Chains A and B, each alone.
Chain A
C-alpha cells in the first residue's frame, strides 16, 4: 500500500530547499557510477578471461578477503572495550589518549609502512620476530598488521561515538533491575550501540580491503604469498597490463559492494530482531 504523506503548503523557496540536497546526491552518485562505467568500457573480454583464469589472482582475492575479515574482527575486539572506556570513564590525559587513537588515520600510507619496517629493526621488533617466532615482515601476518594499523582507529572512533549516544540511565536502570556492571553492558549498552559498531566494522573492512601503500613497503607483493588484490593491480599496471589491472579493480569493487551491502543487511536484520 502506498502511504500518502500530507505535505504542508510550500512556496518556491521551500521547493528549492528540498531539491538542493537531491542535486548533490545525484551529482555524487553519477560521478562515482561514471568512473566505474569508464572502467567497464575500457576492459575487454580477454582481460576478464585472464583475471578469472589466473590462479594467482584468485589467491590474491582470497588473501584480500580473509586478511580484511581477520583485521576487522581484531579491530572490533579492540574497539568495543576501548570505545566503551573512552566514552564512559574520565581519566587524566584523556584528550591526549583520544588524539593518539586517531593518529593512525592521518598517517600517510608510506609513513605507516616505513614505521612498521623500522619498528621490526629495533631490538623489541627483532625479539618478536626472532625469539617469539612471530614473523610479520614480508609475511601474510604482516598484511593483517598493516591493515590493523591503518584501519583500527576507524572502528574505535565509531564505537566510542556509538557508546556516547547510549544514555547512561539505561545502564543505571539495568543495575537496579539486578544486573552487574558487565550484565548491564552486555544486555543494554552493547545492543543499543550495535548499529554504530557495525558501521565502524564496515569502515574498517573497506579500508583494510582496499589498502595498498603500507603493504608495498612492509610485506611486498609476492605472487601466491603476500599478494592481495590492491597490490596485484599495481603490479599489473606497472608491467603495462592496464586492461588486466582494471579488470581486477572491477573485481575489487564488486566484492566490496557485495560485502558492504551484506554487512549492512545482516547488521540491519540483527537490529530489527532485537
Chain B
C-alpha cells in the first residue's frame, strides 16, 4: 500500500537517511522514536509537504514522489491538529469537501455521518477556540475522515491528552481504523500507545531507521542497543559472535 524506497531528505543539519519501508493495506503501523528523530518530517514527505532529495514514494503501486499533496489521497492530522481558528467546527469538517466543490446536500450528509462516527454532533456549531484537547483531536480526525482517504497519517495524535483519555482514544482510533479499513501510520514517542494499537512498528533515531517489525520482535530481538533501550529492555546484553560461540534466547551467552 505505502512503499518508500530509500527516501532521503535534509533540512539544516538534520538528515533523513535512505528511509525504506513497506506498509500493507489496512495495517496499523506505528512509527516510534525520541523527539527530534525525524518522525514528523517523514510524514510530511509522505503527504507531499516536503519534497524528498532522492528516493521514491509509492502509494498503491503508483509513484507519487512528485505528485502534489492534494492528489495523494492521504488524510494527515498534524501534531496539534492545526484546526482553522477562523472557521467553526462544522466549517472545519466541511473544508475539504467545499474545496472539492461538493454539493450542499451531499456535504451535509457526509458531515453528519462523520460527526456521528466520532460522536461530535453536538460540537458542530461551536468555534474552535474553547474546545478541549480531546474534542479538537476528534474534530481534526473528522476533517480528514470526511474525505474518505485510504491512508491516515496521525502525528502524535494523543500526546496532548491526559494519561487516562490517551488510552481510551487509542482504542477508539484502532476501532475506527479497523471499521474503515484505513492504512494508518501513527507517529509517537510513547511506547504504551504502540502496545495498544500497533500491528507493526518501526523505530527511528536521528533520521535513521533502526528496526521494523512486530512489537514482540522488537522487544525479543532488538537489532541494536538503541532499540533495546527504547523498548525498555534494561537487562539486555550486547555481544558479538565470532563464529564459534553463539547465544540462544534463554541460554546464557558463552563468552567468546
A interface residue numbers (CB < 8 A to B): 167, 169-170, 172-180, 183, 187-188, 191-192, 271, 274
Contact = CB atoms under 8 A, between A and B. Distances in A.
B69 A176 contact: yes
Interface of B: 44, 47-49, 68-70, 72, 74-76, 78, 82, 84-87, 95-96, 99-100, 143-144, 147
A253 to B, nearest CB: 34
B121 to A, nearest CB: 21
A177 B47 CA distance: 10
Nearest to B99: A178
A192 B86 contact: yes
Given A192-B86, A274-B87, A174 B95 contact: yes
A176 B47 contact: yes
A187 B74 CA distance: 20
Contacts of B82: 167, 169-170, 172-173
A180 B48 CA distance: 12
B95 A187 contact: yes
Contact of A191 (B44, B48, B86, B100): B86
Nearest to A180: B70
B78 A177 contact: no
A180 B70 CA distance: 7
Contacts of B100: 178
A215 to B, nearest CB: 39
A188 B84 contact: yes
The 5 nearest A-B residue pairs measured at CB:
A177-B96, A178-B99, A176-B76, A175-B69, A178-B70
Contact of B49 (A167, A176, A187, A192): A176
A160 B78 CA distance: 25
Contacts of A187: 95, 99
Given A177-B143, A179-B70, A192-B86, A172 B95 contact: no
A173 B99 contact: no
A183 B101 CA distance: 12
Contacts of A169: 78, 82
B76 A179 contact: no
Nearest to A177: B96
Contacts of A274: 86-87
Nearest to A274: B86
B172 to A, nearest CB: 22
Residue among A173, A191, A274 having the largest count of chain B Cβ atoms under 10 Å = A173
A173 B70 CA distance: 10
30 contacts: A169-B82, A172-B49, A172-B78, A172-B82, A173-B78, A173-B82, A173-B84, A174-B99, A175-B48, A175-B69, A176-B47, A176-B48, A176-B49, A176-B69, A176-B70, A176-B74, A176-B76, A177-B95, A177-B96, A177-B99, A177-B147, A178-B70, A178-B96, A178-B147, A179-B70, A179-B99, A180-B68, A180-B70, A188-B86, A192-B86
A231 B75 CA distance: 60
Nearest to B85: A192
